Structure formats: C-alpha cells, structure tokens
C-alpha cells in the first residue's frame, strides 16, 4: 500500500490521521487509511486545496483512552490543526477532549459514542465532528421505517443498560416510534452474558416485533430461542449486527440499519478502489474516504486554514458523499440516509434507505 505523502514543516496542507497501525485493529486501520489515501490523491490530482498540496502523517492510535490522549497531545505539539480519527469511540472521546482544549479540528470517520461530539455537560464540542451515523439517528430511522413502511403498531424494545450505544439506540427508537403513534408494550433489560432469553421472549410475545440493537452473538442466541419457541415476530436491529459473526440463518425475519451499504455507493469510485486495492470497498474504507473528502471540501469552501472558519463551514454546509448529500446537526452528528437491510431465508439484501425527515 502506498504511504500517505510525508509532511514538511512549511509546505502543504497537513492532516494527521489517528489510525491503528499495529495490534488487533490493524486491519480496520488499514481499510480506513486506504479510503483516506484515495481522497488525498484525487484532491492532489486536481491541484490540491487552496493551491496547496495535501500531505499527511499517520499516528498509530490504539483503541485505548489514555494512549489516544497521549497521541493526540503529540499531534497538537507537532503543529497539526486538522485531525481525522480515531477509529474507536473510546479513543475518539479522548482525542476529542484534547482537540477541544487545543482548538484543533477533529473529524472521526467511525466513532459513534455521543461523548465524541458532545461533552459531559451536554454541550457540543465546537471543533469536533463525526461522519458515522450516530446511534440516535439510527434508532429514529428504524422506528420511522417500522411505523411508516412495515406499519407496525406494537413493539417490544430490548435494552442493555451496560452498553451506552444500545441505551441510546433503544431510547431513540422508543421515543420516535411513540411519537409516530406506535406503542412500546414492553421495555426489557438484558445483559450480553445471558444464555437463556426464553422468559423475556415469552414476555414479548404480544409484540409485532422486537427492537434489539445488540451485538451479533446476542442476536444469534435470541433468534435461535425465538425459533425454538415457535414465535414469528421480526427482529429489528442496528449496525451492531453488521459483522461476520451474525448468523443470518437463525434470523427468519429481520431488518437492520447499516452505516453504509457498499453496493449502493458511487460505482465508478468503487471500481477505482477495486483497481487500486484488488478488493471491493468495505464500510471503513468508504468512511475513511468520505471523512477526508468532507474535510477538504470544508477547507475549500471556507477558503481558509483557520480552524474556526472550517468548523463553521462544516456546521452550515452540505457535502456530497459517495451516495447522498450530508449535513451536520447542532450536535455535529451527520444527517444522512440510513440504509435498511432485510434478513430472510438465509440471506441479507438491501431494501431501502430512510432519508432525514
């Protein structure tokens, strides 16, 4: 894989990427880096941004709060004003704190925790944005889909109090589903270590569907026991399901929200990516590309390298991604279409997108 252009102290537009280049997350970091590099190459082929060549430095950033904090402090000391990353929410929260204090601009391609863009007092971090779908919007989108397309009236919502993303997803789904005239007949707490969900499934038996934004291994157990009980209501889920560990054969009828559906993105771009890397682009590569491209578009629109001016451009602008336009809400979370996948008959297929409403 070709390296990102090496920065020099006085020339070019310099960006720091906080990406794992070692350890367990190295594969994920490589995908994000490959997508980012494509965006850098495209802009440089067009003459750069503000007539400046785009340059970058990659900092090895593990999925660890303290390590990410130290790396981000080093990035600031090295003089970078624009940061892309980190990959994981825990690391991104640490980087966001440093970025806010140092008044540098940070865009995370993949981190979803609400504390990345909003601090502990509920205030939006002025110079921190994310490109991945936030849990709140995913939950709202699935609730809207369930009411308006599936015409569901009564659902059970399952919640894992130990999982911050799941708590946010469940709360957002329940609030939106109720706001659109639906009824949440049961709210059931569970934990990911439980082996037997049959009592909880029996308790949810009067629902038309179960919203279960759980990790894939939990979904597998729930789906298997749902089948054993002879219950046929669909399971509704989130991008937490989006992993090779999901056993689609167990899910007789289900729907899930996705971060991105690769088959729906700009196909000429996908072909260029495949020509460069000999594989079709995956979600992390797409998010890496889009985040880098959005940052460079915002700098170009602001016509400035001042952090405040670029943050204002991001806050107020509309940016074309590989599939649809994207804007940022007051919390600096993206408002973008949410893909919906249907799982049935041992297969998963794209069925629609839910656009901001």
Lookup: tokens for 152: 């569901």
Q: Which residues of the chain have pLDDT under 70?
A: 1-11
CATH number at residue 223: 3.40.50.2300
Let me know if residue 186 belongs to a domain: yes
State how far the Cα of 295 lies from the Cα of 280, in Å rounded to an integer: 24
pLDDT per residue as tens digits for the range 145-154: 999 999 999 9
Same domain for 241 and 314: no
pLDDT per residue as tens digits for the range 264-288: 888 999 999 999 999 999 999 999 9
Q: How many domains does the chain have?
A: 2
Give the phi and the psi of residue 235 in degrees, each rounded to 5: -100, 135
Same domain for 282 and 234: no
Same domain for 248 and 217: yes
pTM: 0.89
- The C-alpha angle with vertex 344 and arms to 163 and 199, in degrees rounded to 5, equals 50
Contacts of 91 (CB under 8 A, 6+ apart): 18, 61, 62, 63, 64, 65, 67, 68, 85, 111
Same domain for 304 and 164: no
Same domain for 219 and 153: yes
**Host domain of residue 312:** 13-133+263-323
Same domain for 141 and 202: yes
Let me know if residue 344 belongs to a domain: yes
Same domain for 269 and 145: no
Same domain for 345 and 208: yes
Let me know if residue 278 belongs to a domain: yes
Let me know if residue 2 belongs to a domain: no
Res 323: pLDDT: 81
Let me know if residue 7 belongs to a domain: no
Res 243: pLDDT: 84
């Amino acid at each position: 894989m070709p390296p990102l252009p090496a920065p020099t102290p006085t020339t070019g537009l310099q960006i720091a990427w906080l990406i794992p280049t070692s350890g367990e997350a190295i594969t994920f970091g490589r995908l994000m880096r490959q997508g980012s590099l494509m965006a850098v190459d495209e802009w440089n082929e067009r003459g750069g941004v503000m007539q400046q060549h785009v340059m970058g430095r990659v900092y090895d950033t593990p999925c660890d709060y303290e390590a990410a904090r130290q790396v981000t402090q080093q990035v600031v000391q090295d003089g970078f004003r624009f940061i892309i990353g980190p990959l994981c929410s825990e690391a991104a929260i640490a980087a966001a704190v440093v970025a806010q204090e140092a008044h540098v601009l940070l865009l995370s391609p993949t981190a979803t925790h609400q504390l990345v863009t909003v601090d502990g007092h509920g205030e939006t971090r002025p110079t921190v944005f994310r490109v991945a779908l936030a849990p709140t919007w995913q939950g709202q989108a699935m609730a809207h889909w369930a009411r308006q397309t599936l015409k569901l009236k009564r659902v059970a919502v399952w919640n894992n109090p130990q999982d911050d993303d799941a708590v946010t997803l469940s709360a957002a789904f329940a609030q939106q589903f109720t706001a659109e005239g639906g009824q949440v007949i049961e709210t059931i707490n569970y934990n990911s270590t439980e082996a037997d969900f049959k009592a909880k499934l029996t308790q949810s038996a009067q629902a038309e569907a179960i919203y279960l934004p759980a990790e894939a291994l939990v979904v597998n157990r729930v789906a298997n026991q749902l089948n054993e009980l002879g219950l046929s209501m669909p399971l509704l889920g989130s991008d937490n399901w989006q992993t090779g560990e999901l056993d689609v054969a167990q899910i007789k009828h289900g729907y899930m929200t996705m971060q991105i559906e690769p088959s729906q993105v700009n196909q000429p771009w996908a072909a260029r990516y495949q020509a460069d890397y000999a594989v079709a682009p995956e979600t992390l590569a797409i998010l890496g590309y889009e985040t880098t491209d959005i940052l460079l578009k915002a700098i170009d629109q602001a016509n400035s390298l001042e952090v405040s001016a670029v943050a204002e451009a991001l806050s107020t602008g509309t940016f074309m991604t590989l599939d649809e336009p994207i804007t940022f809400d007051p919390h600096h979370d993206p408002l973008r279409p949410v893909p919906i996948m249907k799982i049935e008959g041992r297969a998963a297929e794209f069925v629609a997108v839910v656009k901001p409403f």
